[in-house]
């Protein structure tokens, strides 16, 4: 039997995932991180993107989109805390494309009430959601 670790993914609204995994990949602030059992302890910020979970005895990886957040790694436990998280199959491509368009427009309109940093953050989240949707399509 392969070694596993316990993974918890929690958003402000709910717990999205709690279970065992052989491996997870997360969108770290400085790049993608791969976490296997007995990984060295780590605490880091996450950027918007896909968390990929390889569960034991399941061929296909599970995908959960996180809007950013915090990752804590202990040798046999991984915890992800995110403001919002969405299961991959629940992502809405039309809404993500509209959010991307709105953020791009807000960035172009210098007189808009929305500040540039907020528009950039919304754009990054929308682009990450679209990328997650495209990853799911490639698997299918």
Q: What top-level class would CATH report for the domain 5-87?
A: mainly beta
User: pLDDT band at 114, cuts 50/70/90?
Assistant: low
pLDDT, greater one: 90 or 70: 70
Residue that has been written with the tokens 């993608």 in this structure? 32
Instruction: Give the predicted TM-score (pTM) of the model.
Output: 0.74
CATH topology of domain 92-139: 1.20.5
> Is residue 95 classed exposed, middle or buried when 0-12, 13-18 and 19+ CB atoms within 10 A define those classes?
exposed
């Amino acid at each position: 039997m392969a070694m596993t670790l316990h993974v918890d993914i929690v958003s402000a609204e709910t717990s999205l995932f709690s279970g065992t995994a052989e491996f997870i990949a997360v969108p770290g602030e400085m790049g993608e991180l791969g976490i296997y059992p007995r990984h060295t302890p780590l605490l880091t910020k996450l950027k918007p993107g896909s968390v990929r979970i390889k569960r034991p005895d399941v061929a296909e990886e599970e995908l959960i989109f996180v809007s950013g957040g915090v990752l804590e790694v202990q040798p046999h436990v991984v915890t992800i805390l995110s403001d919002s998280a969405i299961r991959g199959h629940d992502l809405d491509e039309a809404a993500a494309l509209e959010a991307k368009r709105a953020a791009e427009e807000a960035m172009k309109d210098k007189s808009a009430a929305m500040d540039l940093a907020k528009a950039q953050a919304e754009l990054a989240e929308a682009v990450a959601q679209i990328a997650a949707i495209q990853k799911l399509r490639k698997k299918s």
